Amino acid sequence: MSACLVFLLSSFFSSPVWAGELIDKVKETTDKIIAIVSNPEMKKAEKAAERKRLIREAIDERFDWDEMAKRTLARHWAGRSDAEKKEFVALFGKLLERTYLDKVEGYSGEKVNYEDETIDGQYGTVKVGIITTQDKSISVFYRLKKIGSDWFVYDISIEGVSLINNYRNQFNSIITKSSFQNLMERLKSNVEEGK
């Protein structure tokens, strides 16, 4: 009986059509990126650099690298000099960009469902369900912050694992065990190697 109910409900709600300000923002960027990575013209070897550049532009529009960098350093942020802050933001931005680029370049027709959005003051969340080609469903949360009149992504959670929390704990562990300088060296070598 219950199973029947679950079945009925789930088929009824299987593809909800949600729309809202934040979903529109995230969807716009995601659609742009999907259009680039699934364009057969762009898959040619000679277009690789252009493809990368276009994706990077689309991500940069919506992602707030500064905010992400501050949040990952957390309590270690305030003690840094301006030069250190600047260098860190640039390096960490590169690392995130590359990580995200690696993820979207592997796109192979996954379905993206926009499930919900919530706004609380200048903070907001968009809930997305991704159905992989192996028919596995992955839940993703985008966290956005309002700056001026526009919204920018400052964190992504995949299956409950927040990217920013994860880096924050790595960085905190490195800084408390050795030093900020050591963290910068390791960041640099990771960005270099990953090119």
Partner 1 sequence: MLKRVNKSPFTAVAGSEKPSVIACMNRNPALAWMFLWCLSAALMLGFLPRMAMAGSLSSYDLALADAQSKQEPEEDYYEDEMIEDVSDPLEPFNRAMFVFNDKLYFWVLKPVARVYNEILPEPLRLSFKNFFLNLLTPVRAVNCLLQGKPDAFATELGRFVINTTMGVYGFGDAASVCFDIRRKDEDLGQTLGVYGAGPGVYICWPVFGPSNIRDTIGMVGDGFLNPLYFWPQESAYRIGISGFKVVNGTSLELGEYESIKKAAIDPYVAVRDGYQQYRKNKIKE
Determine the Cα–Cα distance for residues 176 and 167; give it in Å rounded to an integer. Answer: 14
Cβ nearer to partner 1, comparing 99 with 179:
99
Q: Is 95 exposed, middle or buried (0-12, 13-18, 19+ CB in 10 A)?
A: middle
Pattern 26-65, partner 1, x by CB under 8 A: ----------------------------------------
Residue whose pair of structure tokens reads 């501050």 in the numeric block:
70
Phi then psi for residue 120, to 5 deg, are -135, 95
Cα distance between residue 86 and residue 100, in whole Å: 21
**Member of 38, 118, 137, 181 binding partner 1 (CB under 8 A):** 137
Cβ(174)–Cβ(183) below 8 Å: yes
Number of residues forming the site for partner 1 (CB under 8 A)? 45
Q: Please give the residues from 92 up to 111 whose contact with partner 1 meets the rule CB under 8 A.
A: 95, 99, 102-103
Task: Answer yes or no: are the C-beta atoms of 181 and 188 closer than 8 Å.
Answer: no
Q: Is 149 in the site for partner 1 (CB under 8 A)?
A: no
Amino acid (1-letter code) at residue 96: L
Least distance in angstroms from the C-beta of 64 to partner 1: 13
195 near partner 1, judged by CB under 8 A: no
Site for partner 1, rule CB under 8 A: 1-3, 5-7, 10-11, 14, 70-71, 73-75, 77-78, 95, 99, 102-103, 120-121, 123, 134-135, 137, 159-162, 165-174, 183, 186-187, 190, 194
